Amino acid sequence: MIKLSYYPKSSSLVLCLLVIVLTAPACKTIKKITNRDTEEFSASVLRQQLIGHQVKADWLEGKAKIGFEGLGQKVGATASIKLRKDSLLWMNVKKLGFEVARVQVTKDSVYMINRLSNQYLVKDLDYLEKQYNLPADFNTLQALILGNPIFFVKRNMQAENTAEAHHLFAEENGKSNHFWMMPEKFSLTKMSFEDNMANRSLALLLQEYTETPDNQNFSYLRNIDLNSRETGQVNIEIAFSKVVLNEPTAFRFEIPKRYTRVD
């Protein structure tokens, strides 16, 4: 057995699963925001609230059902997902109870084992972005797994406050970043990113927030829409059934010697 301490890379399905992950907005009755409230929630205040309410976890272990439609495929699978903050992302994908792929990602590399073809793949992490024209650095993948905001555009942020949501957004050089938050709890319900020059977009909806044992809100039901010249329209639905935060977990990634490496 070849033992690796870093990531694998996947087929089209698993690749897009990595560039993902999370969400759809929660529906609930909320009070109307007054003019005075609206004046108080400037862009800087909303940004502080958005960051302050993000999920904080050094470790994550979860199980989820995943529906994938795009790249000429429409499939469903179950996955075990593990994360060690700023270090390692691991995924085990199964169909009908049998493992079909195992993926591991580090700060600079991605590895994948394909159980169906007895093959494995090793690539630099930027391969995801080059191949699929989608944001694919480790911090972005980590934020997507946790359901946290990703600031692709950071300068000149603006705010809009309504009874339905707080809206924080920024636009610069053909790129835009939008965030929608619950009026009372400031939990992120929707996030979108568009890059007109590169012809790519990414949108995430988060819903079914549930409080974790350490009093954090985690989105268990998510929908991801992504689009680029390379992928076309892709939709991913993720329904977490179990999530454990901040408990250390083991990562196992071994490539059998009989497997063939592919590019």
Q: What is the 3-state secondary structure (H, E, C) of 222-258?
A: EEEEEEECCCEEEEEEEEEEEEEECCCCCCCCEECCC
pLDDT above 80 (res 15)? no
Band (pLDDT 50/70/90 cuts) for residue 51 is very high
Partners of 69 in the β-ladder:
74, 235
Note the pLDDT tens digit of each residue in 81-99.
Answer: 999 999 999 999 999 899 9
- Please report the pLDDT score of residue 248 as a whole number: 96
pLDDT above 50 (res 212)? yes
**Distances in Å between the alpha carbon of 54 and those of 47, 143, 182, 195, 200?**
11, 9, 13, 24, 25
Contact 183, 167 (CB under 8 A): no
Give the mean model confidence (pLDDT) for residues 206-230. Answer: 91
Q: d(Cα 258, Cα 1) in Å, to the nearest integer?
A: 9
Contact 95, 122 (CB under 8 A): no
Max mean pLDDT range (8-17, 18-27, 127-136, 239-248): 239-248
Query: Which segments of the chain does DSSP mark as H helices, in order?
Result: 12-18, 35-40, 43-52, 126-132, 138-146
pLDDT above 70 (res 203)? yes
Burial, 215: exposed, middle or buried (Cβ in 10 Å; 0-12, 13-18, 19+)? exposed
Burial 94-119 (b: 16+ CB within 10 A, else e): eeeeeebbbbbbbeebbbbbbbeeee
Structure tokens at 186: 């400031």
- Please report the pLDDT score of residue 40 as a whole number: 57
- Please report the pLDDT score of residue 220 as a whole number: 96
Give the mean model confidence (pLDDT) for residues 106-132. Answer: 89
Partners of 203 in the β-ladder:
192, 225
Query: Per CATH, which fold does 2-262 belong to?
Result: outer membrane lipoprotein receptor (LolB), chain A (2.50.20)
Q: Among 102-116, 125-139, 205-219, 245-259, which is the least confidently predicted range?
A: 125-139
pLDDT above 50 (res 143)? yes
**Pairing outcome for strands 166-172 and 158-161:** antiparallel
- Please report the pLDDT score of residue 207 as a whole number: 93
- Please report the pLDDT score of residue 57 as a whole number: 96
Give the mean model confidence (pLDDT) for residues 35-45. Answer: 66
**Distances in Å between the alpha carbon of 217 and those of 187, 208, 231, 245?**
8, 9, 32, 11
Using a pLDDT cut of 90, give the percent of the chain over it: 64
- Please report the pLDDT score of residue 41 as a whole number: 87
pLDDT above 80 (res 10)? no
Name which residue leads in pLDDT, 127 or 38: 127
**Distances in Å between the alpha carbon of 27 and those of 146, 181, 208?**
20, 12, 9
Max mean pLDDT range (142-146, 181-185, 228-232): 142-146
Angle at 239 between CA 234 and CA 243, to 5 degrees: 130
Count, in order, helices (H) and strands (E) of the chain. Answer: 5, 16
